[in-house]
Amino acid sequence: MTEKAKFWHRYLPIDRQTRRRALYVIGCGFASVPAGHPYPPTQHPSDHHFTWRKGRVLDEYQLVYITRGGGWFESRAVGRRRVETGHVICLFPGMWHRYTPVRSTGWDEYWLAFAGREASVWMAEHGFTPEHPLRFPGESRELVAVYEKILDELRTERHGGGLLMAAWVVEAIARIAAEETRRALAGEKIAEAVLQARARMLEQADQPLNVHALARELHVSYSWFRRKFRQYTGFSPAQYHLQLRLNRAKELLRTTSLPVAEIAERVGFKSLYYFSRCFHSKIGLSPIQYRARTQGQD
């Protein structure tokens, strides 16, 4: 006897006021599709239903998280790609696409549909583009929990649920990007190297640091260290250390009456002019302006 598919989904009615929001959920669902079962396992609204033969074009974004099994994804932007457990299929407005599990395994999927005037900003901010539609956060209980929270709100229809679901869309986007980056760096010696480098930078947060010498001390090439450190932290080693020194300067400006020149010297700047220029470039205020705005707030 063929195993039955299990699924639940809900699409929300979207009125004019909702469409003006920065971010809003259109629908969310879950489907467990056993081997050999037709896909999709249930009929969706006409503007969302599709078959492998025809594909479809959506007006919104969707994040389809595959938690079991595998299959195929195809879009006009990238052609056909293999999908495996742990992949998130990212769907974009106006982009023709289709996807399906392989019949020999089926798959389990969570999907989340959303839109809003800030949706494209959040997606682009975290590297989601039609040219890279498959992300790989892997098997993440935390990501599943985000989908489940949204499904729970759709089931219960509690007041204020739309606000919470919009926040959870942002969490889902960030979680996918973060988990993917962590997986990419897991097991690499860069994790240990970054920890050691951060410790040294904290020790020398009040003085200049020779990052080339630090790389040699860590027994890695500087080019590799700089590239991987940026991938891990979002900063180059030099910029990361500079930010630590400026953070210390901000603390001294807020909590002491030391002259700006002395603070500059304490955080390792030999030139007051260079310190002031760096501070204004990174903080957006001169040291004197920053002190006037923040002193006494702690």
| pLDDT tens-place string over residues 112-143 | 999 999 999 999 999 999 999 999 999 999 99
pLDDT of 26 strictly over 80: yes
What's the pLDDT band for 187 if we cut at 50, 70, 90?
A: low
| Dihedral pair phi/psi, residue 257, rounded to 5° | -105, 20
pLDDT of residue 295: 76
Average pLDDT, the chain: 91
CA–CA separation, 197 vs 200, rounded Å? Answer: 5
Residue 2 in this model has a pLDDT that exceeds 70: no
Domain ranges (residues) in the chain: 6-185, 189-294
Candidates 1.10.540.10, 3.40.50.300, 1.10.10.60, 3.40.50.1820; correct CATH number of 189-294? 1.10.10.60
Do residues 109 and 30 lie in contact, with contact meaning Cβ atoms separated by under 8 Å?
yes
**DSSP state, residue 56:** B
Most trustworthy range by pLDDT among 89-98, 175-184, 210-219, 270-279: 89-98
What does the pLDDT read at residue 119?
Answer: 96
232/245: higher pLDDT = 245
Report residue 189's pLDDT band, with 50, 70 and 90 as the boundaries.
Answer: low
Asked if residue 186 has pLDDT above 70, the reply is no
The pLDDT, as a whole number, for residue 245 is 93
Taking a C-beta distance cutoff of 8 angstroms, is the pair 183, 136 a contact? yes
Q: Report yes or no: 194 and 217 within 8 Å, Cβ to Cβ.
A: no
Instruction: Retrieve residue 2's tokens.
Output: 């063929």
Total residue count of the chain as it appears in this document: 298
**Domain spanning 6-185, CATH architecture:** Sandwich (2.60)
Which stretches does DSSP call E strand in 76-211?
A: 79-83, 88-91, 97-101, 107-115, 134-135
What average pLDDT score do residues 73-78 get? 97
- Are the C-beta atoms of 4 and 93 separated by less than 8 Å? no
